[in-house]
Amino acid sequence: MSVSVDGYLAFIRGCMQIAPVLLPDDSAYISTSYALALETVNPIFVTVSPLHYEQAVYNLAADYLINMTPDQDGQSFFAEARQKFDCVGFVSGVVTSASDSGTSSSLVTPESFASLTLGDLQNLKTPWGRAYLMVAQQYGNIFAVS
């Protein structure tokens, strides 16, 4: 398997279910989000697992796409997606404990969360960013997120 803009476009149409009326095939945001993902995902992934590399690139590109693409005239898909995923709200970390007067709960925070960058925290907001981080963290700090 090899990654390509055409493969990414198929991912956008099939997996993300974004119709051409919402994002034309010739949108510069497709090639830009793809290029950013190629520059970010460690190319060593492809030698370890071409399938994981493809999934990492396409999911990270999709996360970039949701975060940066303006809507076409008369459409609100991307603005609604950013609102749904709270992409514009600042998050400085992950919740480790929550309680109120009647209940309390606490989750174990994985060690890898301690070293998340602001970019990683932003990736956690969309399902595609989380899918990228799941692949990246499988390879540890040598290949990706520590």
Q: Are 133 and 145 in contact (CB under 8 A)?
A: yes
The model's pTM is 0.82
- Amino acid in the structure at residue 95: V
Q: What is the pLDDT along the chain (146 residues), one digit of tens a residue?
A: 689 999 999 999 999 999 999 999 999 999 999 999 999 999 988 888 999 999 999 999 999 999 999 999 999 999 999 999 989 887 665 666 677 777 777 665 666 666 677 778 788 899 999 999 999 888 765 544 44
Tell me if 58 sits within 8 A of 126, measured CB to CB: no
